Chains A and B, each alone.
Chain A
Amino acid sequence: MKKIISFILCAVLACSATVVFAGCGSSAESKGEVNVYSWGDYFAPGEDGLMDVIAEFKDKTGITVNLTTYDTNEELYNMLKSSNVSYDVIIPSEYMITKLIKEDMLLELDYNNIPNYSEISERFKKLPCDPDGKYTVCYSWGVTAMVYDKTKVDKKPTSWDTLWDESLKGDILMINNSRDAMAIAMQLCGINPEECTKADVDKATAKLAEQKPLLKKYVMDQVFTEMESGQAAVAPYYAGDIAKMMENNEDLDYAFPEDGSNLFYDAFCIPKSCKNKENAEAFINFMQKPEIAAENCKYLLYGTPNKGALEFLDEDIKDNELTFPNEEYLDKCYTFSDVDDEVYAYMQEQFVKVQAE
């Protein structure tokens, strides 16, 4: 018995010593830390001739970055809502920002600490989800488009209805995400997804149920392998990712449906649980330095809202419609910034039901 007690005491001592030393180590050499909670793979990682922007931030400022990642906005929300972990910077999408602001979960930013905010183009300041421009600094944006295989689809699709084309039966992929799938169906039914009601969701559900027998699969990330290896003919996906797929398979091409599509954006925010607000603002400011924003844009191939970054981008990225769709097309797009919680939950439920039928 004595042995056990002394063993436990030793263990406790050893643990506390490590903690103390670890604590000393980090405070001696750095200026604290910033806890960033972001989408996976969301910053240029230092490969393929790109800068490792996170390491660069640490070099320049001495602030340590603790990066944690999430896969869905809902995961982010549940984490903020129900755990005690504190994060300093988060990058939610538009509809989630609306929700977080409504539930008073974000801190107002001090834009004096983020001088690079002036680099953001006007379209992406005072976003619909943050009309007074108090909580957000836009990080990246994009639209939903269609990717298709030229060897399987004869002519360039012009509308989402290609995804309902009987002649492509068994070769169509559909996006496995209730918001995007419902919105595509709504646009074909002539409904504006921005202000949809439960009745509209029902119509979209019927449209999706009609599509199901024609589909090969519902996909998210799997769309890359499916399209790149020529297993399917057409799929809706995020434009920046379509650009990546096209790099890997010459037979692929893109199409912007004339119905318009979804303009989405993610923005830096600081949640109420933040403990290092100044470091968080320093991080946001750093990411909006034109040359850094350009690095991230080169990696993600999603549009950057940073005007200054354009100077640092090659012509082929700047001219790529997938990364920077033209202004006229953007005017045709809708944003999902304010769908009622209840309608959104209903959408999710109905989409699962379409799949479960």
Chain B
Amino acid sequence: MKSRKLSIPYLIWMVIFTMIPLVMIGVTAFTDKDGHFSFEPFINAFQYTNVFAKSLWIALLSTAICLVLAYPLAYIITKMKRSTQNTVIMLMMIPMWMNFLLRIYAWIILLQKNGPLDMALSLLGIHGTYIGNTAAVIVGMVYEYLPFMVLPIYTVMSKIDGGLIEAAQDLGSNSFYVFKKVIFPLSIPGIISGITMVFVPSASTFLVSQYLGGTDDIMIGDVIDKIFWTDQNTGAAISLVLMIFIFIFLVIMNLFGDEEAIA
């Protein structure tokens, strides 16, 4: 009873800032310009299927790379001394205190023509363009979202009971089997929340692609932004489709892990 009363402010918050906007998007997505019920916005939305596919692809790829980089890193960190662990985690967090746009600008300077990377590779006789393509967008995304993958995995791993590892060792497991039978299964909730935290924002962001991408790297967030200028209905429909895709993704993730990971 008491806990229900305490949750009232949260419920009000949810209704005002989550439920009502969602309903408004839903209503807008199903009306035409004159305010009548219509599927037209969805028909328009499907003209951007290729952008959809590309955005989801970029997001998936970035998430996969983040996972490959973050998992061993988190594992290595948990093996360190307690005080070193805190320092390393701190170092991972510090860049996140800086404005996102500034960090993207730093990447522009690193990757641009006659920038440090270009200069260094030119000395070795390699000439190329490193900005304005999909690879640059993915590099930016991975850089941006890596901490969101490392932190949940690290948190889950560092909570694994040392007794379980010792028990496995007593039963004759070598370190590979300890990892395979104990550490990996117990770290799955961390992996799942990491994937969720990276995939969801990277599917809908557009700043990275606007700054690091070329003309072909438009993402669905960009389309929504532009369409909203003059056509809220189609914009709402695209947003809704994107939300459904992300929801399906979360449900699939949910099948692999426990429910707590998705929040």
Contact = CB atoms under 8 A, between A and B. Distances in A.
A344 B215 contact: no
B78 interface: no
Interface stretch (B35-43, B66-74, B192-200, B227-235): B227-235
Interface residues of A, number: 25
Contacts of B51: 356
Contact of A352 (B114, B129, B210, B227): B227
Interface stretch (A56-64, A140-148, A213-221, A328-336): A213-221
Interface string B86-120: 00000000000000000001001000111000000
B47 A353 contact: yes
Nearest to A4: B5
A74 B108 CA distance: 29
B210 to A, nearest CB: 8
Contact of A222 (B113, B211, B214, B230): B211
A349 B235 CA distance: 11
A72 B229 contact: yes
A212 B214 CA distance: 10
Interface in A10-31: none
B48 interface: yes
Given A217-B132, A231-B113, A355 B227 contact: no
Contacts of A178: 226
Contacts of B231: 345, 348-349
B230 A74 contact: yes
A11 to B, nearest CB: 12
Given A231-B112, A349-B231, A356 B218 contact: yes
Contacts of A345: 230-231
A341 B12 CA distance: 39
Nearest to B224: A352
B230 A349 contact: yes
B221 to A, nearest CB: 12
B228 to A, nearest CB: 8
Contacts of A218: 215
A181 B210 CA distance: 17
Interface string B222-262: 11001101110010000000000000000000000000000
B174 interface: no
B50 interface: yes
A229 interface: yes
B100 to A, nearest CB: 15
A173 to B, nearest CB: 10
Contacts of B210: 222
Nearest to A232: B113
A225 interface: yes
Contacts of B114: 230
A278 to B, nearest CB: 34
A175 to B, nearest CB: 13
B214 A74 contact: no
Given A217-B132, A356-B50, A348 B215 contact: no
A351 to B, nearest CB: 8
Contacts of A216: 132, 214-215
Interface in B1-52: 47-48, 50-51
Interface in B117-142: 129, 132
Contact of B223 (A72, A231, A356): A356
B215 A212 contact: yes
Nearest to B228: A74
B8 to A, nearest CB: 11
10 contacts: A74-B230, A170-B129, A212-B215, A222-B211, A225-B108, A231-B113, A349-B234, A355-B223, A355-B226, A356-B47
